[in-house]
Structure 1
């Protein structure tokens, strides 16, 4: 049976950063648009701060050890159509991402890696 949505997971480093951001900012969410540059990276916001709608797909509610509530992961529908056959792995790398994403002041940025599933 084929999954309707791709699986999303966090690397241990991404989970640790999520825990730190949660402690500082409260409940969190991710959104990954189909835009260029930073828009194609997962962006982390306080939960509900980024308005989602019909052009977005909820891919996962991530359970993070040490975080009470799940962290939702949304993706623009157009990008989801391209990535629907992959497992998404959210990682953290050195560098500065978007100024809108909560990790920007930390000197790191979230990055999505992917693996093809069910080929």
Structure 2
């Protein structure tokens, strides 16, 4: 017979191992935690989730860097720009250790406007503009 503590451990493992949904990653983009943002960017970029474009553009000039082993040295800008590059399919060269590039960001904004994902730049809090 199972002991209650064993059942609790098994239940905890099952709950703890649930995978995050794209909605969870979208929420993580709003986080103050750089590691969560970079992780969310990776999965959103892989999913090519166009619904996240506005959130990716929001505060894209953020230069804070991750110290997590997987994203070590990557800035929020680099992570967001990488995700946007995957989503847009634009042939843009993004350098990891470069500061945010307004020309690259403008290309992403123009693409989002062309795709009717945003009406104008005013809808997004880009910061540093």
TM band (smaller chain): under 0.3
Bigger-Rg structure (1/2): 2
Structure 1 length normalisation: TM-score? 0.25
Structure 2 length normalisation: TM-score? 0.24
Name the structure, 1 or 2, with higher relative contact order (CA <8 Å, separation 6+).
Answer: 1
Q: Which has the higher strand share?
A: 1
